[in-house]
Every structure is written in structure tokens, then in C-alpha cells.
């Protein structure tokens, strides 16, 4: 049978020798209580944490009550779990037992029921009560126990004080009315001190988290153009300042997915533990573990206990040892931006219930910042690659322009000028033959000179036409492309067809660009495709025009070539289309031929606006 003393509000009945009219004795007791409270307040420093407040209070009250052992359990804000916050005069064995029972904050439903009252609750025999777990009572060898609830001003439970007294075999109980009254008086004052400390601690933590978020934002911004390893090196120390555990940054490798669901995709992971120096770096395939599932599903996952994993490994096999061998809780936050998943930020702890709601909110914000940084880095890489491609294309264009000029000069000097000079020299004998009356011979010389001039004029027309066909301005793009394909078939033996479903003319610069791009694509077909058939089609597409070039050649890996900045001809086609506000779409795989679609505006932007 549990022996429970009455509450402290009936102290006059429990205090032998005290009468209702004994005001002097009551005043002395209250004066002693006041001195105790003032001593506690004086010893507390400004900005003391809740645990520091509890430790100071428990120490003073422990001495005032003459307790043998004392404890304080603090309840998590917005939670139902308790953790030890203060102890006095515990043996090494008791400290070990307490740590064993509270490796993490634990729910104690019976304590919650005890906190429904404001009054201290004495227990002559805790073993016979159901307010504390029997294992805890036995391991700590509790005697007579005085439970002092700590309730906030709003009536919510904050924590509980436990004062433990050795229970004598014979004699009066150590749980006297005076001790109960003093404990009750301290509990009322402790509420104010503890609530202020909790508010101050919450404010301090929020300030630290904001500072950490600001530092992380600055660090990530500085690492935006860096690779993922350098990004993790800046991120992990700042996360470790707020959250304890193993931190991993797993990036989903681009270009290694195989269809929907990211089957066959791999993760490149960087990780570090706060309890072990060094870091880990590994490339692992997506599997059936919790980290892979969070990546594949692109949704946040939170495991609060070891049992919550339900047989699912928290990390891939290659990273299992890094996780510490046992995962009590874990948080997986996908790095996602604009419907695109870049990877996962994961924190794994060996303790259960390791992450508070505030920490989860903090890490969620960090994951969002990290996703933005990775996207900025990717875009920076794309722009840098495009800049390099454009530089190389400009070099090639300048070289081609210089080669055209040299070919023109050589053609004029070696051909036209020499022929003209030769013809000029041949006219002098013709003049002399005419003066001598040898008209037949003069006619033959003039005819040969005329034929030579006609051949040279045709060469000059061909040379000028290779620079820009005059029919492009006179007859339009369709006529020039048809002639170009006829000449291509005659020169290469590759069957070439042309189909036009577009009537009318395009803007002059657009027609010129379409002609040049077709020339570039036909050159690729001639040199690389090993095709037997090439088809060119031109058709209208709203305010645009679609030019497509299709061949049945060997094909190639278009994405790989463009990613490796190879195939300058393809880059030139894409840049040429985009410079006019259009686009180029390249479709090709090894063994399947190639189809390239170029969309160009019918009018230039300035013409369209006017």
C-alpha cells in the first residue's frame, strides 16, 4: 500500500506543535523560506540556462531540506519527454544508472499525471507507487521521496524536482510537514525563474540559429561556383554547431539516370561526424535504404526512434559504418528546387528523439538554401561552358573568315588577274595582225581570248557564289536549298531530298542564317554520318519557321558530345539559332541516325515590333 502524505496546504495539521494562532512560528518559517529564495536568486547569474537554474535551486533546497539525494527532470517544450537537468550527491553508480535510463529524453506518462497538481507529493515508499518506473527506482535505490511539480503560470507542466531521503527502519518519517512546506514555497518561486530562463534560452537559440543561417547563407554563396565537396566543407561545421550527429550531403549525379524513377542513378556523398575527426566521400548507387528512398521520393523523412526504421537501413551499405553503427533517429531533407531534385541533406544520430521541432525547421531552411546554391553553381557552370564554347566558335569564325579572304585573294591573284593580264597581252598581237590585214588570224586570237575570259568569269561567279549565292536575295531560301542539295548529292553520292511546306519569304538575315546552318549540317553529314539518305524540310510553325535535317547515318550520343564541349559544328548550329531568338533541338543516338530541328523567327524582333 502506497503511503502518500497530504498536500502542503494542510501544513498546520501535519506540523506537530503548530497552532493556528502561532503567528510567530509561522513568520519565522516564512522568513527562513525568504532567505533561501533570496540566496538562490543572488547566486544565479543573468542569462542562466534552465539547467543552470535547476541545478542552483536543487543544490540550495537539497541543503535546506537535508535530503540525501536530489534530482530535477526538465520537460521538453511542446513535448512529453523528460531529461535529467540537475543532480546533487549522487554516487557514481547512481549517475551511471541515470545515464543508462536517460540516453535520450524519455516519455514518463505517470509523471505527467503527477504534474496535474500544484502541490508537493510525498511518497514514503516509491517502490510501491506507480509514479516512477520501477527500474529507475530500483537502480537509484530511492528511499522516501518528495515530488515537487513545477508548473508554469499558464498551468502547463515544466518539470519536476525529486528529493530523496534515506528511510530509517524505525522512527519518524523524514517527509515532515516543514520540509513539504519549504519545497512548496520554493516551487512557486522557481516557476518564475525557470520560465524566464526558458524564454531566454529559446531567444538565445533562435538568435544562434539565425546567425548560423546567415553564416551558412554567406558560406554557400561563396561556394556557389565550387564543387560539391567544397560546398559540404563549408556547410557541415555550421550544421554541427546546432545539431549533433552525422551530417551527410548526397548529390544525385547528373547524366547517370536510366528512365523514370531514377533507376540506376548514383549518389556522390560527403559526410562528417561530430564525434569523429575526418570525413567520408563515396559514390553509391540508389538502393532500398532510407537515404535512397528520400532521394527517389523527393520528400522529407523523419525517423524519431530506432524502431521507426522498421527494418530499413538508414544509410547505404557503403556509408553504414559512417553512420555510427546504430541509428536512433534520422532526418532526410531533399535538396529540391523548381521540381528538380539535386540530392539529400541527411543528419543521423545514435540517440532517439534527437531532433527538436526547431532543429527540424532550421535544417529544412538549410536544405532549401543548399538547393538554391547548387542550382546557382550549376547555372554558373553552364554559363561558363557556354562562354568557352562561344569563345572557341568566335575563334573558328575568325579563322574561317580569314581563310575565305585568303582563298578569295588567292583566287583573284592566281586566276583572274593572271588571266586578265594574259588576255591584255594577247590583244596587242591582235592589233598588229589587224593592221597587217591578217584578219583571219586576228579573229582566231580574239576568239581564244574571249573563251579564256568567259571561263574566268564563270570561276569568279562560282567563287562569289560560294561566299553568298545571289539567288538567295532574288529567289529566296527554298530555291537556294534545293540547288544546294542537288549539288550535295552530285558531289557526295548521298541521296538528298528537299521538301518545302512554307510559302513566302523570311527576313533577309533569317534566310541567310538558315542557309548557313544547313550548310554546316550538310558538312557534318558528309564527314561523319556515313549516311545514304539526307532529308531537308522547311515548314511554317506559327510566327516561326521549322528547318529540319534528318539522315539515316550511324548517329552519336548528342548529350555527351555537347556536355564535353565537343562537336563545335553542333554548338555553332545551336548558337546560330539562339542568336536570332530561335532554338535548335538535336536528336541522335548511336545506330539510329540523326534529326536536327531548328526553329527560327520569320521576322527579326525589331521587324516584329514595328
Residues 33 and 143 in one domain: yes
Residues 196 and 218 in one domain: no
Buried b (16+ CB within 10 A) or exposed e, 102-115: bebbbebeebeebb
Closest C-alpha among 285, 288, 365, 374 to residue 331: 365
The reported pLDDT for the residue numbered 163 is 92
Q: What is the CATH number of the domain that holds 592?
A: 3.30.565.10
The reported pLDDT for the residue numbered 598 is 92
Residues 164 and 71 in one domain: yes
Can you tell me the distance from the alpha carbon of 563 to that of 16, in angstroms, rounded to the nearest whole number? 91
Can you tell me the distance from the alpha carbon of 556 to that of 533, in angstroms, rounded to the nearest whole number? 17
Closest C-alpha among 40, 39, 18, 38 to residue 29: 18
Residues 217 and 172 in one domain: no
Task: Determine how many CB atoms are found less than 10 A away from the CB of residue 547.
Answer: 27
Task: Determine how many CB atoms are found less than 10 A away from the CB of residue 252.
Answer: 23
Whole-number average pLDDT of the chain = 76
The reported pLDDT for the residue numbered 498 is 93
DSSP notation for 520-579: HHHHHIIIII--SEEEEEEEEETTEEEEEEEE-S----HHHHHHTT--HHHHHHHHHHHT
Can you tell me the distance from the alpha carbon of 274 to that of 304, in angstroms, rounded to the nearest whole number? 19
Residue 395 resides in a domain: no
The beta strands (E) that lie in 230-328 are given as 246-252, 266-273, 276-285, 301-303
Strand partners, 279: 272
Residues 252 and 156 in one domain: no
Strand order through the sheet with 583-588 = 495-501, 533-541, 544-551, 594-601, 583-588
Residue 157 contacts residue 115 (beta carbons within 8 Å): yes
Residues 156 and 36 in one domain: yes
- Burial bucket for residue 588 (CB in 10 Å: 0-12, 13-18, 19+): buried
Residues 193 and 302 in one domain: no
Buried b (16+ CB within 10 A) or exposed e, 26-58: beebeeebeebbeebeeebeeebebbbbbbbbb
pLDDT at 29 over 70: no
Residue 2 contacts residue 114 (beta carbons within 8 Å): no
Residue 457 resides in a domain: no
Residues 200 and 129 in one domain: yes
pTM over 0.75: no
DSSP notation for 449-514: HHHHHHHHHHHHHHHHHHH--THHHHT-HHHHHHHHHHHHHHHH--EEEEEEE--S---HHHHHHH
Residue 593 contacts residue 551 (beta carbons within 8 Å): yes
Cα R_g (the chain), whole angstroms: 44
Task: Determine how many CB atoms are found less than 10 A away from the CB of residue 239.
Answer: 24
Residue-wise pLDDT for 417-431, tens only, equals 777 777 777 777 888
Residue 441 resides in a domain: no
Residue 565: phi and psi, rounded to 5, are 60, 30
Residue-wise pLDDT for 148-207, tens only, equals 888 877 777 788 888 999 887 777 888 888 888 888 887 777 777 888 888 877 777 777
Q: What is the mean pLDDT of residues 219-245?
A: 71
Residues 99 and 215 in one domain: no
CA triplet 177, 180, 185: central angle to 5 degrees?
A: 125
pLDDT at 593 over 70: yes
Strand order through the sheet with 106-107 = 106-107, 81-88, 69-75, 157-165, 144-151, 121-123
pLDDT bucket at 260, cuts 50 / 70 / 90: very low
Residue-wise pLDDT for 268-309, tens only, equals 877 777 655 556 677 778 888 888 888 888 888 888 888 888
pLDDT bucket at 489, cuts 50 / 70 / 90: very high
Residue-wise pLDDT for 438-462, tens only, equals 888 888 888 888 888 787 777 777 6
Residues 168 and 287 in one domain: no
Percent of the chain's residues with pLDDT above 90: 8
Tell which wins on pLDDT, 227 or 260: 227
Q: What is the CATH number of the domain that holds 360?
A: 3.30.450.40
Task: Determine how many CB atoms are found less than 10 A away from the CB of residue 601.
Answer: 19
Distant-in-sequence, close-in-space partners of 452: CB < 8 Å, separation ≥ 6: 419, 422, 423
Task: Determine how many CB atoms are found less than 10 A away from the CB of residue 259.
Answer: 8
CA triplet 26, 191, 206: central angle to 5 degrees?
A: 160
**Domain stops at, among 187, 204, 221:** 204
Residue 453 resides in a domain: no
**Domain stops at, among 204, 229, 260:** 204
Tell which wins on pLDDT, 235 or 120: 120
pLDDT at 397 over 70: no
Closest C-alpha among 140, 85, 149 to residue 121: 149
Residue 425 resides in a domain: no
pLDDT at 42 over 80: no
CA-CA-CA-CA torsion for 115, 56, 207, 156, nearest 10 degrees?
10
Residue 113 resides in a domain: yes
Residues 345 and 261 in one domain: yes
Q: How many domains does the chain have?
A: 3
The reported pLDDT for the residue numbered 393 is 57
Closest C-alpha among 313, 260, 264 to residue 289: 313
**Domain stops at, among 360, 381, 402:** 381
- Domain range for residue 79? 8-204
Residues 161 and 217 in one domain: no
Residue 520 resides in a domain: yes
Residue 436 resides in a domain: no
Amino acid at each position: 500500500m502506497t503511503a502518500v502524505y497530504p498536500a502542503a496546504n494542510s501544513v498546520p495539521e501535519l506540523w506537530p506543535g503548530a497552532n493556528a494562532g502561532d503567528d510567530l512560528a509561522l513568520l519565522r518559517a516564512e522568513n527562513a523560506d525568504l532567505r533561501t529564495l533570496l540566496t538562490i536568486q543572488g547566486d544565479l547569474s543573468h542569462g542562466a540556462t534552465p539547467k543552470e537554474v535547476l541545478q542552483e535551486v536543487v543544490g540550495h533546497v537539497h541543503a535546506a531540506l537535508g535530503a540525501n539525494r536530489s534530482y530535477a527532470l526538465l520537460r521538453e517544450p511542446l513535448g512529453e519527454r523528460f531529461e535529467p537537468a540537475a543532480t546533487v550527491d549522487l554516487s557514481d553508480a547512481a549517475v551511471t544508472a541515470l545515464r543508462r535510463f536517460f540516453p535520450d529524453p524519455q516519455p514518463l506518462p505517470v509523471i505527467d499525471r503527477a504534474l496535474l497538481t500544484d502541490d508537493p507529493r510525498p511518497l514514503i515508499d516509491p517502490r510501491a507507487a506507480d509514479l516512477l518506473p520501477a527500474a529507475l527506482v530500483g537502480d537509484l535505490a530511492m528511499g522516501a521521496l518528495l515530488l515537487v511539480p513545477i508548473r508554469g503560470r499558464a498551468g502547463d507542466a515544466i518539470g519536476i524536482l525529486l528529493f530523496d531521503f534515506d528511510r530509517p527502519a524505525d522512527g519518524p518519517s523524514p517527509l515532515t510537514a516543514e520540509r513539504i512546506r519549504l519545497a512548496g514555497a520554493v516551487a512557486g518561486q522557481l516557476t518564475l525563474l525557470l520560465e524566464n530562463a526558458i524564454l531566454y534560452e529559446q531567444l538565445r537559440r533562435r538568435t544562434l540559429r539565425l546567425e548560423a543561417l546567415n553564416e551558412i547563407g554567406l558560406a554557400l554563396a561563396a561556394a556557389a561556383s565550387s564543387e560539391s565537396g567544397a560546398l559540404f566543407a563549408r556547410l557541415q561545421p555550421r550544421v554541427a554547431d546546432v545539431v549533433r550527429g552525422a551530417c551527410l550531403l548526397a548529390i544525385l549525379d547528373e547524366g547517370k539516370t536510366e528512365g523514370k524513377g531514377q533507376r540506376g542513378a548514383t549518389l556522390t556523398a560527403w559526410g562528417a561526424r561530430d564525434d569523429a575527426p575526418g570525413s567520408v566521400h563515396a559514390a553509391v548507387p540508389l538502393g532500398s535504404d532510407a537515404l535512397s528512398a528520400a532521394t527517389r521520393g523527393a520528400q522529407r523523412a523523419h525517423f524519431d526512434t530506432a524502431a521507426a526504421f522498421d527494418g530499413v537501413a538508414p544509410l547505404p551499405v557503403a556509408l553504414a559504418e559512417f553512420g555510427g553503427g546504430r541509428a536512433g533517429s534520422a532526418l532526410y531533407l531533399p535538396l529540391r528546387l523548381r521540381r528538380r531534385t539535386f540530392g539529400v541533406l541527411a543528419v543521423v544520430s545514435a540517440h532517439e528523439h534527437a531532433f527538436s521541432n526547431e532543429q527540424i525547421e532550421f535544417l529544412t531552411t538549410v536544405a532549401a538554401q543548399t538547393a538554391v546554391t547548387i542550382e546557382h553553381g550549376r547555372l554558373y557552370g553552364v554559363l561558363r561552358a557556354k562562354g568557352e564554347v562561344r569563345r572557341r566558335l568566335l575563334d573558328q569564325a575568325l579563322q574561317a573568315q580569314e581563310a575565305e579572304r585568303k582563298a578569295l585573294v588567292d583566287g583573284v591573284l592566281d586566276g583572274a588577274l593572271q588571266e586578265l593580264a594574259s588576255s591584255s597581252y594577247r590583244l596587242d598581237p591582235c592589233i598588229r595582225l589587224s593592221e597587217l590585214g591578217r584578219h583571219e588570224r586576228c579573229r582566231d586570237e580574239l576568239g581564244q581570248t574571249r573563251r579564256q575570259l568567259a571561263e574566268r568569269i564563270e570561276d569568279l561567279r562560282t567563287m562569289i557564289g560560294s561566299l553568298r549565292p545571289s539567288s538567295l536575295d532574288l529567289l529566296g531560301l527554298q530555291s537556294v536549298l534545293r540547288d544546294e542539295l542537288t549539288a550535295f548529292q552530285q558531289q557526295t553520292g548521298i541521296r538528298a531530298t528537299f521538301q518545302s511546306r512554307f510559302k513566302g519569304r523570311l527576313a533577309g538575315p533569317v534566310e541567310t542564317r538558315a542557309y548557313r546552318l544547313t550548310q554546316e549540317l550538310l558538312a557534318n553529314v558528309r564527314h561523319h554520318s556515313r549516311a545514304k539518305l539526307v532529308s531537308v524540310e522547311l515548314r511554317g510553325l506559327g510566327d516561326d519557321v521549322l528547318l529540319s535535317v534528318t539522315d539515316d547515318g550511324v548517329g552519336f550520343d548528342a548529350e555527351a558530345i555537347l556536355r564535353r564541349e565537343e562537336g563545335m559544328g553542333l554548338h555553332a548550329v545551336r548558337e546560330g539559332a539562339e542568336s536570332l531568338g530561335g532554338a535548335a533541338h538535336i536528336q541522335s543516338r548511336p545506330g539510329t541516325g540523326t534529326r536536327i530541328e531548328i526553329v527560327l523567327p520569320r521576322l527579326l524582333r525589331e521587324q516584329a515590333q514595328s
